Structure 1
Amino acid sequence: MSSEIKIVNVVVSTKIGDDIDLEYVADVLDNSEYEPEQFPGLVCRLSDPKVALLIFRSGKLNCTGAKSKEDAVIAINKVMEYLREAGLDLIDTPEVKVQNMVATAELGMEPNLDDLSTLERTEYEPEQFPGLVYRMESPKVVLLVFGSGKVVITGLKNKEDAYIALEKIKNTVKELEEEYF
């Protein structure tokens, strides 16, 4: 696990209450926008941690842009504390679930994407997009592999799977190099 994995986005979801009055929340919550004709949820942007929270009338809340689950929880707690002070009745301790994580990494080599495209579960159309899309089965993630050696891993539920996926793609690239040379 020597390669550096950088988590660049964590998306979590939770439920903070029932029947949230979004018009009221928009009035009392700084940095929030509520335009129901454009989007059914209220958007609240925080700067520390730098995230966007989407709050829905049903009480469901999504937090995106966090660099860790912990940052997302901090952001959710900040907003909930503020909403409680404004008089809203909210769940005491909401269960926060990671829906998706996005990580970036380096292969440490420049893969031949044409060779990689011979693998199952890959898509590579350089005229459309410069990266190869590889849908890994285990862990169940999607990797975007670029000719520069940069890799973006999406669909993660935890950081450990990023290391596993990166090691697997590195080994696959090495095996293909040996096969073709």
Structure 2
Amino acid sequence: MADKNYESLKIENIVASGEIADSISLEEVSRQIDTCELNTKRFPGAVYRIEKPKIASLIFSSGKIVLTGIRKKDDLKAGLDIIISSLKNVGVKTFDKPNVAITNIVCSYDIGKQVNLNRVVVTLNLENIEYEPEQFPGLVYRIEEPKIVALIFSSGKIILTGGKNLDDVKRGLDFLEQKLDSIM
């Protein structure tokens, strides 16, 4: 796997979630932090956006947090540190060690050739495939190990989601390319 060229594999989004405090007064936080919005009629959490690194976080009164929009793994720690520091500055008692982990990595990849999706449907295991071209132009392929969902488009573009780390995404991509190579 290490010698394979993953040049066109691109992280589009990393989602992380976990717990950073026992409880958080969202009204207080949204009042004191400019880029933190609270509209409980529309959503039960506060939306706190930071610019560098660019991350949107959903903060809940239970102390739970979801971070999204992350493009590089290193940005997760940097962004989380900024968010926790901001919360501490407005009086939130956060955990010394927040329990936040990556829950999903979304990547795009281009295999560099056209894919006959109808042939893929006919050849591969139908239990793992959803393809309704009149509803959606991509084929959904569910890889069981690692647990990755691939959206395959006839252009050769692929979206991979469900991985918790880049190695899982790469293993899923390797599996998928093996399957596609056997068909093409």
Output the TM-score relative to the length of structure 2: 0.92
DSSP 3-state at the match of 1:25: helix
The match for 1:140 is 147
How many angstroms apart in 2 are the aligned matches of 1:79 and 1:170? 39
DSSP 3-state at the match of 2:146: coil
Q: Which residues of structure 1 form unaligned runs of 5+?
A: none
Q: CA deviation at 1:53?
A: 0.4
* Aligned counterpart in structure 2 of residue 2 of structure 1, from 5, 19, 26: 5
Output the TM-score relative to the length of structure 1: 0.93
DSSP 3-state at the match of 2:136: coil
How many angstroms apart in 2 are the aligned matches of 1:42 and 1:65? 16
* Aligned counterpart in structure 2 of residue 93 of structure 1, from 91, 97, 102: 97
8 Å Cα contact 2:20/2:100 also seen in 1: no
Identity %: 40
* Aligned counterpart in structure 1 of residue 159 of structure 2, from 148, 152, 161: 152
> How many equivalent pairs are there?
177
How many angstroms apart in 2 are the aligned matches of 1:26 and 1:8? 28
CA RMSD between the two structures: 1.1
Q: CA deviation at 1:87?
A: 1.8
Moved over 2 A (4+): none
Which residue type is aligned with residue 143 of structure 1?
A: A
DSSP 3-state at the match of 2:159: strand
Deviations 1:18-51 (A, max 9, x none): 1210000001112111011111000011111111
DSSP 3-state at the match of 2:21: coil
DSSP 3-state at the match of 2:151: strand
How many angstroms apart in 1 are the aligned matches of 2:180 and 2:84? 46
Which residue type is aligned with residue 69 of structure 1?
A: K
How many angstroms apart in 1 are the aligned matches of 2:67 and 2:73? 10
How many angstroms apart in 2 are the aligned matches of 1:69 and 1:91? 21
8 Å Cα contact 2:139/2:151 also seen in 1: yes
Q: CA deviation at 1:3?
A: 2.5
How many angstroms apart in 1 are the aligned matches of 2:74 and 2:86? 19
How many angstroms apart in 1 are the aligned matches of 2:53 and 2:94? 21
* Aligned counterpart in structure 2 of residue 102 of structure 1, from 106, 118, 121: 106
How many angstroms apart in 1 are the aligned matches of 2:137 and 2:117? 9
Q: Which residues of structure 2 form unaligned runs of 5+?
A: none
